[in-house]
Structure formats: C-alpha cells, structure tokens
Amino acid sequence: MISLSKYSESEFQRAFTLITQKIKILNFDLIPKKDFETAIELAFDIDENDIEFVALTEHIKGKLWTSDNILIKGLTRKNWNKIITTKELYQMTIKERKRQ
C-alpha cells in the first residue's frame, strides 16, 4: 500500500490517520433486508466480503467508492454502475480546486 502511494512511512501513517479518523462504524443491521437481498444477488459471486458495502450503497442511493477492479468489472457486467473510483474522486477534486 505504501509503495502505491509513493509516500514515506511517516507520510503514509499521517494520511492514513487523517482519513480513518473520519470513518464511522456502521450498524449493518439497520440496512433493510431488500437492499441486502439485492447486494447478495450482485456481489456474492464476485466478492462476498463486499456485500455489506453494496447493500449500504443501495440503501443510501449513493455510490460505492472502490478501486477493486474485479468488483468494478463484475458489478458493471451486471449493469450496476453505482461506483466511483479513487481516480475519479481525485479528478473531481482537481477540477473543483481549479474552479476556486
């Protein structure tokens, strides 16, 4: 992970801390059953570890932030396009900064 970021160990740890301190733990039991059923149909044969995240994305009617190419390709094949990649977020941030 550090080698991909091109950060030093200390820079990576600082960035990791800044990002993860904003993460909230969710109670997946609060997501409706229908959203889990949809997510199971979509993600079980791709990566069952991502079912909860797909279910949450369905529930909030949002986008799933991932750079997992296997997951992206698998969900896209199933016509589920509620995905945004880190690269896309970065490009959006750059465009927003240029506007300011």
pLDDT tens column, 15-29? 888 777 767 667 888
Q: What is the pLDDT of residues 68-83, one digit of tens each?
A: 999 999 999 999 999 9
Phi-psi region of 50 (alpha: psi -120 to 50; beta: other; left: phi over 0): alpha
Tell me the whole-structure pTM to 2 decimals.
0.70
The pLDDT score that the predictor gives to residue 7 is: 78
Could you state, in order of their start, the residue ranges of all structural domains in the chain?
Answer: 2-99
Rounded distance between C-alpha atoms, residue 18 and residue 39, angstroms: 30
